[in-house]
Chains A and B, each alone.
Chain A
């Protein structure tokens, strides 16, 4: 349904700033009727990719197709098929929710009767009855999101694109949105959402792509990606705070152990060790060997592979660390300016 081929996009590159490669040969293919998750840390290029898909931004290179229509050549035809719920909710504070939806309906050329019926339908679906006739300026974050979602759904789009739809929401609003998205998928709508919540994508998506620095580094159904990793994940700390030397010593010890693979020293988390074990017996053997080497065990946890492990495997760091490392590097104000038309 959605085909993004070899997309590239650079920002800036003026006198002062050096260019940012927001997208670097990004390829993505979303089957029809699929609930597809786009997972990636801050700055991975999720928003950029979705803005290009929604014809808000022209790529430097590559092609975009929605339902077989070339979005770069026929943007208007694609706009009709798409519903877009942006990362930053832009509502008009002065209008009521209903007025905003009416405006939206007119921009999509719905017939007034159809439009108003549809507004009632969505108001009920998203549990917004008490708020729909109040001004948007008085809405809570959750209500704003719901209204924005309603706006995206008003014209019954074949493809719904959502950019981090649940970020910063209370649990109630979040599960309301999840439920609606599942329902839409069940009715045949193709849903593409970006997120940096692993659990969200894990719980919701039929397929996902992990984005890192503007390219796809892993793709597939969540179960399959996790299963492909095999084994159980173990995180081991010999002390609350180890040093590099000790961690290295433990790593050598572990690598010699049978049934242990992929031992990684996680520097960002106090030199803890991440490893993969084949079965439960291995953990017992590990504990014995550590005791023989007179090493303590401060903490040892074992879990089935998660999407975070998929990410860790592909990039050598956890998603959380990736987020932390870019936080503060980005200039939100400058980006806002650039995104202005």
Chain B
């Protein structure tokens, strides 16, 4: 019912507005709502920055006296840790993607969206993805800025680009996972429990805090299969100065991975996750 004003109605029914215009109108409106919520209740945003910040400062201080040359490449621990904390920030931000949606399901707000003649119900998902991507990138940039202030460096122009692309790929994958959970689980209590349980083990079983060479073999295997590692290592390479897609960044028990392979794996993972939650979304949103 967009034809509110009787303009040139003599020429029969008005042509249907383009799908793109309608989809962007609904997506933007849904996205705006999420941002208004965030600005009026910024605690999630602040907590999402504060936690990694504490990690960065505390862990950095804890290992500041670690002997030189302990880490591969001879970098300081703070610089080593930086990449891990940046990735962790984006990761835990994206893990929350499903929460607003879960609350909408529980409080019936989703029904309000579903009785509306949305051009595509993917708009609901798209709005969440846009929102959470923007939010976790802002959080990560805040952490990167702090790391820079602590003297751990700031990636150069192309390096910054690589960092952002890496984070984006990871955020997409985790967002897909979280949105899927928001529809699969019965309520927000369960969702928060899963987020809570997934968070720290994934951090510890990655190369965020220590290189694989420090780990017992079983943990090394886990870390080498953990998607967080695929994001951490390319970013760490950027931070350590020279970055080339073809450089080996990870010596996994099953072989060496280049930065390019890591990014490729992340891309495949997010695509696979989005594809696999699709049937679930289709079912719940029709």
Contacts and interface: CB of A to CB of B under 8 A. Distances in A.
Interface of A: 54-56, 76-77, 79-82, 84, 86, 88, 90-92, 94-95, 99, 102-104, 106-111, 114, 118, 151, 155-157, 337, 339-341
30 contacts: A55-B114, A56-B111, A56-B115, A76-B117, A80-B117, A82-B115, A90-B107, A90-B108, A90-B109, A90-B111, A90-B112, A91-B109, A94-B36, A94-B40, A99-B33, A103-B33, A106-B26, A107-B113, A108-B2, A108-B117, A109-B25, A109-B26, A118-B4, A155-B1, A337-B186, A337-B187, A340-B105, A340-B106, A341-B105, A341-B183
B232 to A, nearest CB: 35
A107 B107 contact: no
B149 interface: no
Given A94-B37, A103-B30, A157 B112 contact: no
Contacts of A108: 1-2, 116-117
A107 B121 CA distance: 11
Given A107-B116, A107-B118, 20 more contacts: A76-B119, A80-B1, A90-B111, A94-B37, A94-B40, A99-B36, A103-B29, A103-B33, A106-B26, A107-B30, A108-B116, A109-B2, A109-B25, A109-B119, A157-B1, A337-B186, A340-B105, A340-B106, A341-B110, A341-B284
A55 B115 contact: yes
B22 interface: yes
Interface of B: 1-2, 4-5, 17, 22, 25-26, 28-30, 32-33, 36-37, 40-41, 105-119, 183, 186-187, 284-285
B33 A56 contact: no
Contacts of A337: 186-187
B111 A86 contact: yes
Nearest to A76: B117
A84 B112 CA distance: 9
- Dominant SS among interface residues on chain B: helix
Contacts of A340: 105-106, 186
A135 to B, nearest CB: 8
B4 A110 contact: yes
Contacts of A90: 107-109, 111-112
B113 to A, nearest CB: 7
A109 B117 contact: yes
Nearest to A58: B286
Given A90-B112, A108-B116, A156 B4 contact: yes
B1 A156 contact: yes
Contacts of A94: 36-37, 40-41
A109 B17 contact: yes
Given A106-B26, A151-B112, A114 B4 contact: yes
Contacts of B116: 79, 104, 107-108
A102 B284 CA distance: 25
Contacts of B33: 92, 95, 99, 103
Nearest to B38: A94
Contact of B5 (A79, A103, A109, A114): A114
A298 to B, nearest CB: 48
A118 B106 CA distance: 30
Most buried by B among A107, A111, A151: A107
